[in-house]
Chain A
Amino acid sequence: MAAPRTSLRLVAAIWSTRGIHGRGGAATPEGSQKKGKTLLQFLSDRFYDVEFLREYFLQRQMLKVHQKNRSFTHMVEQYGPYIVGACFILDQGGMVKFQNNDWIGPKERGRFALEFSKFQEVSVEAVDASGCAINYEGLDNLLLLRNLQSLSLRHCPHVDDWCLSRLYPLASSLQELSLAGCPHISERGLACLHHLPNLRKLDISDLPAVSNPGLTQILMEEMLPNCEILGASWAQGLNVEPEEQPQDKASPVHV
Chain B
Amino acid sequence: MLRRVLRLASGRALVARALSTRRGGSTPDRDGKVSEIKKKIQSILPGEPWNPLYDTSHLPPERSDVVIVGGGVLGLSVAYWLKKLENRRGAIQVLVVERDHTYSQASTALSIGGIRQQFSLPENIQLSLFSANFLRNINEYLAVVDAPPLDLQFNPLGYLLLASEKGAATMESNVKVQRQEGAKVCLMSPEQLQNKFPWINTKGVALASYGMENEGWFDPWCLLQGLRRKVQSMGVLFCQGEVTRFISSSSHMKTTSGKEVTLKRIYEVHVKMDHSMEYQPVECALVINAAGAWSGQVAELAGIGKGPPGTLQGTRLPVEPRKRYVYLWHCPQGPGLEAPLVTDMSGAYFRREGLGNNYLGGLSPIEEEEPDPGNLEVDYDFFQDKVWPPLAQRVPAFETLKVRSAWAGYYDYNTFDQNGVVGPHPLVVNMYFAAGFSGHGLQQAPGVGRAVAEMVLEGHFQTIDLSPFLFSRFYLGEKIQEHVII
How far is B140's CA from A132's CA once the two chains are assembled, in angstroms?
19
- Taking the complex as formed, is A251 at the interface, i.e. its CB lies under 8 A from any CB of chain B? no
Task: Identify the stretch in A71-79, A99-107, A188-196 within 8 Å (CB) of chain B at 4 or more residues.
Answer: A188-196
Name B136's closest neighbour in chain A (CB-CB): A162
CB–CB B355/A165 < 8 A = no
How far is B158's CA from A223's CA once the two chains are assembled, in angstroms?
16
CB–CB B149/A25 < 8 A = yes
Task: Identify the stretch in A146-154, A212-220, A226-234 within 8 Å (CB) of chain B at 4 or more residues.
Answer: A212-220
How far is B216's CA from A220's CA once the two chains are assembled, in angstroms?
19
How far is B337's CA from A189's CA once the two chains are assembled, in angstroms?
10
Chain A residue contacts of B297, Cβ below 8 A: none
Name A52's closest neighbour in chain B (CB-CB): B89
Chain B residue contacts of A44, Cβ below 8 A: 145-146
How far is B144's CA from A41's CA once the two chains are assembled, in angstroms?
12
CB–CB B145/A55 < 8 A = yes
Chain B residue contacts of A133, Cβ below 8 A: none
- Interface 1/0s, chain B 63-105, versus A by CB < 8 A? 0000000000000000000000000010000000000000000
CB–CB B139/A25 < 8 A = yes
- Interface 1/0s, chain A 121-155, versus B by CB < 8 A? 00000000000000010000000000000000000
Name B138's closest neighbour in chain A (CB-CB): A26
Chain B residue contacts of A216, Cβ below 8 A: 355
- Interface 1/0s, chain A 13-52, versus B by CB < 8 A? 0000000000001111010010000000100100000011
Q: How many A-B residue pairs have CB under 8 A?
A: 78
CB–CB A51/B145 < 8 A = yes
How far is B145's CA from A62's CA once the two chains are assembled, in angstroms?
13
Chain B residue contacts of A162, Cβ below 8 A: 136, 154, 156
- Taking the complex as formed, is A248 at the interface, i.e. its CB lies under 8 A from any CB of chain B? no
- Interface 1/0s, chain B 329-366, versus A by CB < 8 A? 00000001110000000000000000100000000000
- Taking the complex as formed, is A203 at the interface, i.e. its CB lies under 8 A from any CB of chain B? no
Chain A residue contacts of B154, Cβ below 8 A: 161-162, 188
- Taking the complex as formed, is B257 at the interface, i.e. its CB lies under 8 A from any CB of chain A? no
How far is B145's CA from A190's CA once the two chains are assembled, in angstroms?
30
Checking B139, B145, B155 against A191 with a beta-carbon cut-off of 8 angstroms, the contacting residue is: B155
CB–CB B336/A223 < 8 A = yes
Checking A27, A52, A194 against B337 with a beta-carbon cut-off of 8 angstroms, the contacting residue is: A194
How far, in Å, is B286 (CB) from chain A's closest CB?
A: 25
- Taking the complex as formed, is B157 at the interface, i.e. its CB lies under 8 A from any CB of chain A? yes
CB–CB B355/A219 < 8 A = yes
How far, in Å, is A169 (CB) from chain B's closest CB?
A: 9
- Interface 1/0s, chain B 199-233, versus A by CB < 8 A? 00000000000001110100000000000000000
CB–CB B139/A223 < 8 A = no
Chain B residue contacts of A83, Cβ below 8 A: none
- Taking the complex as formed, is B112 at the interface, i.e. its CB lies under 8 A from any CB of chain A? no
Chain A residue contacts of B212, Cβ below 8 A: 165, 168, 195
- Taking the complex as formed, is A115 at the interface, i.e. its CB lies under 8 A from any CB of chain B? no
Name A186's closest neighbour in chain B (CB-CB): B153
How far is B272's CA from A189's CA once the two chains are assembled, in angstroms?
46
- Taking the complex as formed, is B309 at the interface, i.e. its CB lies under 8 A from any CB of chain A? no
**Besides A44-B145, A168-B212, 10 other A-B contacts (C-beta < 8 A):** A26-B139, A26-B143, A26-B149, A54-B145, A136-B136, A166-B213, A189-B156, A191-B155, A216-B355, A223-B337
Q: Which 4 A-B pairs have the closest CB atoms?
A: A165-B156, A194-B338, A26-B139, A191-B337
